[in-house]
Structure 1
Amino acid sequence: MTNNELKEFLNEKVTYYNNPKFIETDPIQIPHLFSKKEDIEIAGFLTATISWGNRTMIIKNSYKMMELMDNTPYDFVLNHQERDLDSFRNFVHRTFNYIDFQQFIKSLQHIYKNYEGLENALLIKDNTSNYQTAIHQFKKMFFEIDHQKRTQKHVSDPLKNSAAKRINMFLRWMVRNDNAGVDFGIWNSHKTSNLSCPLDVHSGNVARKLKLLLRKQNDWKALTELDSKLRKLDKNDPVKYDFALFGLGVFEKF
């Protein structure tokens, strides 16, 4: 397949999958429950955090998280009392349990009270063209307050070579405006051109079959390699190809 043929093929798949019907089976449906910016980003961040494993279970447990916050995530994060977190005690999603959930609420409150919210806390503030350092700095801010060490594993660190799949997915949701009603595009201080593909088993396998990726591990080095290829296909909106790679892998078993 030539570069032009590959681009045409992938663009067709983006058009096919990047539409409102995609929301019905995807965790992105959770932040779509809300209209207020802060509700959308907090719901998106928490949902993305537990987005690994069975998609039906991810969606079910994300709805449960929203219910435990009285379906007002921003108000709950900002104004909760310690006793309000007691109701979390039965919550668990794989290795993310109530201790982690309670900590995330406290850390999110810290981010909104001291760093002007998630949009500013994850902003690229150096001359780089990706989120590697920004995510690393965000993790440091997130765990500045007292916490149990176990919870640190639920926020990836790209400087330790993690592909940071879940945070990159969350960033796509918040930054990219797809004009199709799937991604939100509510973070105007960020650039879509700096986004990276949320690299997981499905997108990684498809990328290798299409010769977009040679590295075998799904880590930050692989993501950098994939970034460089996707940005050649579309320098302004490289992460749109996540819809193609994910759709080919999950729905078409490519």
Structure 2
Amino acid sequence: MELKTILEALYQNRSQAHLANDPLSFCHRYRDPRDQEVAGLVASSFAYGNVKIIKKNLAVIFDVMGTSPRRFVERFDPRQGSRDFAGFKHRFNDARDLCALLLAARIMIEEAGSIEKWLLRFYTPADEDLTGPLSGFSEAVKSLDLSPVFGPGGVPADSYFPFFFPSPASGSACKRLCMYLRWMVRPADGIDLGIWQGISPAQLVIPVDAHIQRICRFLGFTSRRQADWRMACEITRALRQLDPADPVKYDFAICHLGISEGCDGKDHLKCAACPIGDICAAGPV
């Protein structure tokens, strides 16, 4: 069976159980695209580490944000935010970093009307992918006036706020930003939301986490070992051969072979039952 046929079957078998085990599920709490856009920025920013801990900490944030993340951000007061989120911690990001993220979202919305329109300042439709737009976006966010959170000295050295906005220019795989863009840009299909219309899905770059890094090596989509921007682009180019208009279509399904189905490339009993086992280099021999 050819590769695309197998991956199409994997795509069709995505489930709501997979979605419930994904940070993207927090965006699906809301119907208004303006709320989903803000929820997506927050959820993707903290989407690193153990998925159970991610979901637990995101639940804390969204419980405070209430029924409308967009309205919460529009009215966000960093002083009140420091009280609302006192004691918050997600690995090395703390309440101060969270408040800076929410303030950055507020500024973007005030300046452009939406996060999408603010990002589009750096976007060129003719680009093959989003290397340039993401680099410009990240650097511009880190240059915003966040003194209401950090004080007049700028972002202090001990803050991990810049971790939210890595750049392809530095070689980072930018996994969480690429994931956010996939959620927003890909056509609505019950998983991704398709609420941003200004960017072409053909320009998306796959979010490379540990699962994508491992499984896409097994599938022959990359020969690289380091999860960096070059690997992300190499995998995306391979996927573009299967679907030029929507190259990251299979990302969620492949990723959840690891997140939800427990693939580690070592358990051949699992490999034998895996839907991609016949084409995967880690599959049973």
* CA gap 1:84/1:13 in 2 versus in 1, 3 angstroms: same
| Aligned residue among 167, 171, 185 for 1:157 | 167
Stretch deviating more after TM superposition (113-122 or 221-230): 113-122
**Distance in 2, Cα, partners of 1:178 & 1:6:** 24
Bigger fraction of residues in helix: 1
**Distance in 2, Cα, partners of 1:82 & 1:10:** 45
**Distance in 2, Cα, partners of 1:71 & 1:96:** 24
Q: Which residue of 1 aligns with 2:6?
A: 9
Question: How many angstroms does 1:224 deviate by?
Answer: 1.2
Q: Which residue of 1 aligns with 2:183?
A: 173
Question: How many angstroms does 1:69 deviate by?
Answer: 2.0
**Distance in 2, Cα, partners of 1:220 & 1:241:** 18
Q: Which residue of 1 aligns with 2:56?
A: 60
**Distance in 2, Cα, partners of 1:76 & 1:117:** 14
User: Are the equivalent residues in 1 in contact too, given 2:38–2:69 (CA < 8 A)?
Assistant: yes
**Distance in 1, Cα, partners of 2:173 & 2:245:** 21
For the pair shown, the structure with the greater C-alpha radius of gyration is: 2
| Aligned residue among 244, 255, 275 for 1:246 | 255
| Aligned residue among 100, 103, 115 for 1:103 | 100
Q: Which runs of 4+ in 1 moved over 3 A?
A: none
Unaligned runs of 5+ in 1: none
* CA gap 1:162/1:134 in 2 versus in 1, 3 angstroms: same
Question: How many angstroms does 1:102 deviate by?
Answer: 0.8
User: For 1:184, what is the secondary structure of its paired residue?
Assistant: coil
Question: How many angstroms does 1:252 deviate by?
Answer: 4.8
1:60-113 alpha-carbon deviations (Å, 9 max, x no partner): 111111122234211111112343212212111111110100101111111111
Taking structure 2 as the reference length, the TM-score comes to 0.83
Letter in 1 for 2:115: L
Question: How many angstroms does 1:16 deviate by?
Answer: 1.2
Q: Alignment identity in percent? A: 29
Q: Which residue of 1 aligns with 2:155?
A: 148
Paired residues in the alignment total 249
**Distance in 1, Cα, partners of 2:76 & 2:10:** 43
- Alignment of 1:125 onto 2:132: no
* CA gap 1:38/1:178 in 2 versus in 1, 3 angstroms: closer
**Distance in 2, Cα, partners of 1:205 & 1:88:** 36
- Alignment of 1:207 onto 2:204: no
User: For 1:89, what is the secondary structure of its paired residue?
Assistant: coil
User: Are the equivalent residues in 1 in contact too, given 2:57–2:90 (CA < 8 A)?
Assistant: yes
Alpha-carbon RMSD across the aligned residues, in angstroms, is 1.6
Taking structure 1 as the reference length, the TM-score comes to 0.92
- Alignment of 1:222 onto 2:221: no
Q: Which residue of 1 aligns with 2:29?
A: 33
1:218-237 alpha-carbon deviations (Å, 9 max, x no partner): 00011111111000011111
Unaligned runs of 5+ in 2: 147-153, 266-285
Stretch deviating more after TM superposition (240-249 or 106-115): 240-249
**Distance in 1, Cα, partners of 2:262 & 2:241:** 25
Q: Which residue of 2 aligns with 1:77?
A: 73
